[in-house]
Every structure is written in structure tokens, then in C-alpha cells.
Structure 1
């Protein structure tokens, strides 16, 4: 069946929206330099016009293949390193429906691959791993304008860095990560911050948050002071644990 590249002529005229066909995505990802990065687990990617996630999905598939081949002597290794691979992918999308589809598509790719691997061990996917994947995707995919570096409501675009505290190449479990938040402008200028820092804002950025989580999210954008993210196991990032620090 022929792949649909536009949703409507109006959207093409108004937003210049044309989707990249799968064959072109694969061809572009095979370009020298890009191909090598897709096969490097720690390499990060930012798609400034993510659409429904065609590029990010293809990159995630390649990275998950890498995880299975090089980092998965056990199911626990796969779970840790699959989340690590997922944490390296970022996207910005102007249109709300596309951004929502991007989130759902990435989660589907992750879940399907995880389920397939778990079945080889006669096990089912762990809920905490799937919940952690949802948190990572929600933080890494933003509805906004890459050129203005702002969300549709005028707030700064905020991304999370997921920094491993050890050497992932050693394949020692569990992988531990500390989350730090940066605005897109800070990322562009190479700003440095203390690890674990959260953005102090009264209004949440427009990360796509329609996933249903059991844990309360009311605390996320209250007055934060010196409240910082804690170093946690990567399979526990769904808890969004924080602590108060001096200074």
C-alpha cells in the first residue's frame, strides 16, 4: 500500500507539512556518519520537525537492534540498555496531533521490541520498565517551535538530559542515571548546570503527557527551590524521585 505523505493540502499550505517516506528515511540514515551514530548507543539525536516520528522510530529500531546484539546477555541488561537507547532520542513538533502520534509511535516501537525479547525468556514486560519508558518519551518529545525555541504557549522548550553515572560500556547493572533539565536555548549555547537541576517555572512545558501514570504528577511544576532530581536506577525513573539539597 502506498504510504500517505500529506494529511491535507491545507496543512501543506499552512505548515509546509509533508512526511518523509520510509525508503527515504532509511536512505538518509545510511549516510556516512549518520549510520555510525545510529549504531552508537550513547549518540543523541534531536529531530527539530519530528512529525509523527518517522526518523526517530527508525533510529530507535536500529538502536534496539544494537542493544540486542551487543548489550543483552540477560533480560535485565536489555531492559537497562533499551531505556538508555530511548533516552538519547529527542523531538520537537509544531502540530499537536503529530506530536501525540510521535509519542505513541515511539512507545509502540519500544513496547513491541521489549515484549518480543521478554518472550524469548518466557517472561512478560515489567510494568516499571514500561512506565520509565513513558516518562522518558514524555520528557523528550515536545510540542513547540524549534525556531523560536518556545512551546505553543510561549514557554521555553525544556528537555531532560539523562546522564549515566557510570561507564555503560562495562555492562555492569543496574545502570544509574541522573536527570537534569535544560531549555533549548541553554542547550544551543552550551550552558552548564549542576546535575539534577530542575527548571523553576510555574507552568509546565508542553511535553506530551497523556500517558496515564499511577504516581501523582502535581508536584512537577510547583515552587521548587533547591529541589533536584536524585540519582536512580534507569528502570526507576518513572518515580521521578527528588531531594532537597543545600545551596
Structure 2
């Protein structure tokens, strides 16, 4: 069982208390079906060093391995989908980096037996790149990124959406404040996001009946093993 507190000063300054593994699993079991759906998206707004996200990833990869371990290409595609669906924000830079390292280690531990310790060139590099974009140092209350001192910057938190189109990857970037602004009852798009800044263009999602922002940037399709090489 890992410690729930790193230091008294961190508790006093940031309210940092880590959730024990038993409680993590009990809470995730309440949405067990979603934790085992490979493409189900999870966002942890105060992710710490990744207690919740690590367990979600383990559950997703367990499903990937059980379904696709006989085909390395299929395993790599759906492992990419699994890690691409996991997002986290933490205000402390060391937590952010520890969470990234932890998630990458979980992928490597699951992947290396499947690929017989002969990773496909570019695969783990793509996973590393996605984790770096999905686990960010920021303030989940202000929805801004933070600097090395922990102070808010003027930049909004921006997350990437990763989706497979055949054997290639489509990346679209969204502002988190705009994503949180949309709701099923919101028929008119807001003029300003939660951070008080003008929003991007919005469109109606026919599936949910809600207004959703258009991406602030779209990228050309790229081979999975080249993700991050052309940014």
C-alpha cells in the first residue's frame, strides 16, 4: 500500500492526499463496464502521480491483451486507443512527471511479453508522446496551465483527441474550458468560455444533443508509428 501523504507541507499548501489502492478499485468498480471499454475516456482533474489513471489503464490493457495478443498489429492499435483515452491534470510538476512515467511503465510491462521483447520501431515512442500530451501540469480550477512555481499562466489547458482511421491516427486539439462548457441543455453556444476568454466555433452533436466546440487545430492523418514526429 503506497503512502497517502508525501509531506505535511504539501497537504497544507495543496491539499494533497493520495487515495489508497483499495478505495481506487472500489470506486472504479462502480463504473466497471466503462473502465473495461477500451475507448472510454477518463479525465482525472487532480491526478497526483496517477493512482486512478494507472488502474484504469491496467484494466483497459487487460482487455486489449485478452482480445488481440495473437496479432501484434491489432494489439498495438488498441493499446494506443487505450492510452489515448486517458487524461490527467495536476498542479504539481513532479506529480505530473511521475504519472507520465508510471503510465509508460505500465504499457511497457504489458507490451513487451506480447511483442516478445522486440518492440515495433516507433510504437513506444508514440505512446510516450501521447502520454506527454494527455497528462498535463495545470490548474483544474482555473483551467489554465501553470509555470514551474505553480502559478497560473495565461494559456488554457489543451487536450488532444486521438482516433484511429484505419491504420492511421487522427489528432484534434481542444481547449478544456470549452469542452466543459458544453451540456445537453445548452442549445446556444456560449460567447465566452469558463476562463472568460472568447470561445471557438461550436457545433451541434446530434448524438448527444449538446453543443460542442470545434477543435482549435486539426492535424493530417499520420501512421501510428510516426505520431509525434511531424508536430
1:162-173 alignment runs, 5 A limit = 162-165=162-165
Structure 1 match to 2:172: 180
- 2:135 matches 1:136: no
Structure 2 match to 1:19: 18
Structure 1 match to 2:29: 30
- Aligned residue pairs, count: 196
Aligned 8 A contact 1:80 1:235 in 2: no
**TM-score (normalised: structure 2):** 0.80
- 2:82 matches 1:85: yes
Where 2:98 maps in the other structure, the secondary structure is: helix
Aligned 8 A contact 2:35 2:59 in 1: yes
- Residue of structure 1 aligned with 2:142, choices 148, 151, 168: 148
For structure 2, the 5+ residue unaligned runs are 147-152, 183-211
**Structure 1 stretches of 4+ moved >6 Å:** none
For residues 165 and 63 of structure 1, the distance between their equivalents in structure 2, rounded to whole angstroms, comes to: 20
C-alpha displacement of 1:51:
0.2
For residues 58 and 135 of structure 1, the distance between their equivalents in structure 2, rounded to whole angstroms, comes to: 20
1:99-110 alignment runs, 5 A limit = 99-110=96-107
Where 1:154 maps in the other structure, the secondary structure is: strand
C-alpha displacement of 1:69:
1.3
1:186-225 alignment runs, 5 A limit = 186-190=178-182, 191-193=212-214, 197-198=216-217
RMSD: 1.6
For structure 1, the 5+ residue unaligned runs are 167-173, 199-227, 242-247
Where 2:75 maps in the other structure, the secondary structure is: helix
Kindly provide the CA deviation profile for residues 105-138 of structure 1, in whole angstroms up to 9, marking residues without a partner as x: 011111111112112xxx5112300110011101
Where 1:20 maps in the other structure, the secondary structure is: coil
For residues 240 and 86 of structure 1, the distance between their equivalents in structure 2, rounded to whole angstroms, comes to: 20
For residues 67 and 61 of structure 2, the distance between their equivalents in structure 1, rounded to whole angstroms, comes to: 10
Aligned 8 A contact 1:159 1:181 in 2: yes
C-alpha displacement of 1:159:
0.3
Where 2:155 maps in the other structure, the secondary structure is: coil
**TM-score (normalised: structure 1):** 0.75
- 2:43 matches 1:46: yes
Aligned 8 A contact 1:83 1:235 in 2: no
Where 1:46 maps in the other structure, the secondary structure is: strand
Higher strand fraction (1 or 2): 2
For residues 223 and 81 of structure 2, the distance between their equivalents in structure 1, rounded to whole angstroms, comes to: 11
Aligned 8 A contact 1:79 1:235 in 2: no
Aligned 8 A contact 1:46 1:91 in 2: yes
